[in-house]
Amino acid sequence: MFPTEKVNSLPDTFAVNEATGFAPSNPSAGAPADEWIGKSSGFPQTFYKDCQGIMKQMFRCYAHLYHAHWLNPFWHLNKHDILNMCFVHFVTVAKYYKLVSDKEMEPMQPLIDIFIKQQRIPPEALGGGHWGQQSPA
């Protein structure tokens, strides 16, 4: 899933495509069968979907930590701010790259709303991120 071989060509990443003016296909809209993000770097065609699955499981871990371990150990050890910071970063990346659906995040939405109101989650993450900003081809 994660290539380990040395890549001799320029990887096909969003940053490279943005700099050259080429917008990659929307992975959630179904890219052509012979093109996908990360192909030139050796990533498999299922990479984006695999990452979505990993992120969904990680989100469930965060939900468990908040539900079962908020007081002990996080609050009692005064480490709740670190948990919050990690969760904010996770949600920002998940929303920006559309890796976890809003339906999956629904159980934690009240906490996410608090972080949005505090402006800890940037508005650009909520607006769809990289693929949400692209115009359809």
Segment 36-93, tens digit of pLDDT: 878 888 888 898 899 999 999 999 999 999 999 999 999 999 999 999 999 999 999 9
DSSP helix/strand/coil, 82: helix
User: Phi and psi dihedrals of 7, rounded to 5?
Assistant: -100, 125
Identify the CA nearest to 81 among candidates 94, 70, 67. Answer: 70
- In percent, how much of the chain has pLDDT > 90? 53
Identify the CA nearest to 95 among candidates 130, 48, 64, 62. Answer: 130
Provide the 10 A C-beta neighbour count for residue 54.
12
Residue type, 32: P
Identify the CA nearest to 39 among candidates 17, 54, 59. Answer: 17
Quick one: average pLDDT of 115-129? Answer: 87
Q: Using CA atoms, how far apart are residues 97 and 5, in angstroms rounded to an integer?
A: 25
| pTM for the model | 0.72
Contact indicator for 108, 62 with CB cutoff of 8 Å: yes
DSSP helix/strand/coil, 74: helix
Q: Which domains does the chain have, with CATH numbers?
A: 1-45 (no CATH), 51-128 (1.20.140.30)
119-129 exposure pattern, b = at least 16 Cβ within 10 A, e = fewer: ebbeeebeeeb
